[in-house]
Chain A
Amino acid sequence: MQIYLPIAELSLNLFFLVGIGGAVGFLSGLFGIGGGFLLTPLLIFSGIPAPVAVASVSGQVAAASTSGALSYFRRGGIDFHLALYLVLSGIIGAFLGVAAFSALRAAGHLELVISLGYLVFLGFIGVAMIIESIRAILRSRRGVVRPAKLPGQHNWVHGLPLRIRFKRSKLYISVLPVLFIGASIGFLGALLGIGGGFILVPALVYILRVPGNLVIGTSLVQVIAIMAAATILHSVNSQSVDILLAFCLMVGGVIGAQFGASAGKYLRGEQLRALLALLVLGVAIRFALVLLLEPADLFSTAVLGIQGLAQ
């Protein structure tokens, strides 16, 4: 059944849209990620203009993160004090990200920067994750018990000025790295159409040393806030949010996530992370090929200015 997307101005199969929303939702439930980094490229590869894909996925990621955040909220797994700082800096970052998005789009380099951004971040995170999970798998084979990292351990980042006490996370750290991380994720999220959870979670764990039971819930709050901000900013700036497209993806995503979460119980943590790392690397390689191989068609054409013809 074809459905006409009024902002993307093309028809796609409804079941295809709900289907990829569901498939990505399944993975997001399985791995506890927003899935924007998979969904945006999938939409671009299926013919949706990159600006519309990035902007509409922001809405879908906000929806997917909401149901996750709710369940963490019920368990008390959110540090709202820390989240407030991340959210405020994240929204400033999103403003800059959307401004960069518009400037790059006008200059004709948006696709390039999206591809490069995906390549660099997914490549980096994917390699780091795969090394970490292979080590973990090897360790568990040998039966070595690894001493758990204490949240109280400090590194040089914590010693910067403007220290603030975050009671729930049992942290007394400088606010500067918190704001920096929040703003960076906001910028990247708005520019690349990703929630940034897969960058934010390691940053919270390894740089800020947020306790494990608070990391995901707190990062989800930040993801919701910057994706909501990005959705509004993209709507105002380029009118490229397709509500119908986002809604189809949301419905599939919310349902798929439930099945993913149940399936996740049957896999071990290290295996799960190794699989996710392979997935992340796969997407990175796909983007690398786009950039490095000679394109089949050297020429491309695009409509200038704000898209949309007369009604």
Chain B
Amino acid sequence: MKRFSIFFFSAVFLLAFNNAGFSQRLVNALSDKQISIDSSFAGETISFFGNIEPEIGEREKVIEGTFNIIMVITGPSIDRVVREKSNKFIIWLNSNSQVYEKFPSYYWVLSDASLDDITTPEVLEEYSLLPKHQPQKFSKNANKDNRFDKELVRLMKEEGYFGINENAIDFHSNSFYSGRLELPANVPVGSYLVQTYLLKDGEVISQKAQGFFIRKTGFERFLGNFAKQSPLLYGVFAVILALFTGWLGGVAFRR
């Protein structure tokens, strides 16, 4: 995995990325293009590497000044509902709800320093960087209730799906940085987007996107696909397995 990352890192170096209008650009790579979930999966740390370089054609060969990096990792989107319980006829039941269509299942913001120090709330708002900015983009209801937005972000944070880590990125030199993200065991599977923002004096001066993929492998992938693609056969198989296990238990112990 690490061998792979070094290879990938150098490969990206060669592919020039042209951000016209900016005098700096980002060159970056990540440790795993694909993360596999198998039966022993209990979370994993994924690493990002990057370098800030002068734009091709620029006169200066070195970059100057202090930079900050913000990375936003967005997971696959899925329709989600938030429900509120209220007390009716002495029991507590779900009453009001609000639907969020194509809502990110995972959203983490990484940075190399406190976001308040790096930039201003206006910039964060403009790029919709924070978890709390997400619900406004995806709510479906016409007469929406803003309370649900706040609660949704809180619930997602409590589950570990949303969050901010302000110490996740380290600068190893003026220009070379690395970041790491700890993926929990219950991480949603699917394609992920890593959006890297380069900031100088609080302003975004360059950005770059890359992706990675989380998928089940081996037996887990087989079972997951089996369940979705041929559900009837899967159910029959589950029953045969149950009957066989029960029979085996009965024979082995013979009460």
Number of B positions contacting A (CB below 8 A): 69
Residues of B within 8 A of A (CB): 37-43, 76, 78-87, 90-94, 97, 99, 105, 148, 151-152, 154-156, 185-186, 188-191, 215-216, 219-221, 223-225, 227-228, 231-232, 234-239, 241-243, 245-251, 253-255
Closest to B41 in A: A4
- A11 adjacent to B42 (CB under 8 Å): yes
Which A1-57 residues sit within 8 Å CB-CB of chain B? 1-4, 6-7, 9-11
- Min C-beta distance of A34 to chain B, whole Å: 11
CA distance A224 to B247 in the complex (A): 12
Expressed in whole angstroms, the Cα–Cα distance for A292 and B85 within the complex equals 12
- A243 vs B236: C-alpha distance when bound (angstroms): 11
Docked CA distance A242–B250 (Å)? 23
Specify which of A227, A239, A309 is in contact with B78 (CB 8 Å cutoff).
A309
B156 CB contacts on chain A under 8 angstroms: 301
B85/A298 in contact, CB under 8 A: yes
The answer on a CB contact under 8 Å between A311 and B239 is no
Q: Is there contact, CB below 8 Å, between B189 and A311?
A: yes
In the complex where A239-B231, A298-B84, A299-B82 touch, is A246 in contact with B238 (Cβ < 8 A)?
yes
Contact across chains for B250 and A71 when beta carbons are under 8 A apart: yes
Query: A270-311 toward B: CB 8 Å interface, digit per residue (1/0)?
Result: 000000000000000000001111110111111111001111
Contact between A294 and B235 (Cβ–Cβ < 8 Å)?
Answer: no
A-B contact pairs, 13 of them (CB 8 A): A2-B42, A63-B249, A66-B242, A66-B246, A232-B232, A258-B255, A298-B84, A300-B82, A301-B155, A303-B79, A305-B79, A309-B190, A310-B76
How many angstroms between the C-alpha atoms of A310 and B84 in the bound complex? 28
Looking at the assembled complex, report how far the CB atom of A68 sits from the nearest CB atom of chain B, in whole angstroms.
Answer: 8
Interface of A, secondary structure class, is helix
In the complex, A148 has a CB within 8 A of chain B: no
Contacts of B155 in A (CB 8 A): 297, 299-301
CA distance A71 to B86 in the complex (A): 49
Count of CB-CB pairs between chains A and B under 8 Å: 217
In chain B, what residue has the closest Cβ to A13?
B42
Q: Which single member of B83, B216, B221, B239 contacts A301 (CB below 8 Å)?
A: B83
User: Which residue from B76, B79, B92 sits with its C-beta under 8 Å from A304?
Assistant: B79
- Chain A contributes a number of interface residues (CB within 8 A of B) equal to 67
> Which residue on chain A has the smallest CB distance to residue B240?
A228
Chain A residues lying within 8 Å of B225, measured Cβ to Cβ, are 311
* 13 more A-B residue pairs beyond the given contacts A108-B81, A310-B76, with a C-beta to C-beta distance below 8 A: A4-B38, A4-B42, A67-B253, A111-B94, A231-B239, A290-B92, A295-B92, A299-B83, A299-B84, A299-B152, A300-B85, A309-B188, A309-B189
Residue picked from B42, B94, B99, B236, most chain A C-beta under 10 Å: B94
- Contact pattern, A 83-115, Cβ under 8 Å of B = 1, otherwise 0: 000000000000000000000000011011000
Assess the A10–B91 pair: CB atoms within 8 A.
no
A68 and B243 CA atoms in complex are apart in Å by 11
Query: Are A292 and B246 in contact, CB atoms less than 8 angstroms apart?
Result: no
Given contacts A66-B246, A243-B241, A294-B87, whether A10 and B186 have CB atoms under 8 Å apart is: yes
Q: Is the CB of B235 within 8 A of A254?
A: no
Q: Which residues of B contact A309 (CB under 8 A)?
A: 76, 78, 105, 188-190
Partner pick for B185 among A1, A10, A111, A310, CB 8 A cutoff: A10
Task: Report whether B232 and A62 are in contact in the complex, using a CB–CB cutoff of 8 Å.
Answer: no
- Name the CB-closest residue of B to A288: B91
- In the complex, what distance in Å separates the CA atom of A216 from the CA atom of B243? 18
**Cβ-defined partner of A250 (8 Å) among B94, B215, B227, B242:** B242
Q: CA A311 – CA B40 in complex, angstroms?
A: 18
Question: Of A112, A246, A254, A301, which is in contact with the most chain B CB atoms at under 10 Å from its CB?
Answer: A301
Q: A6 CA to B228 CA in the complex, in Å?
A: 11
B86 touches A298 (CB 8 A): yes
A60–B105 CB distance below 8 A:
no
Q: Which B residues are in CB contact (< 8 Å) with A116?
A: 91
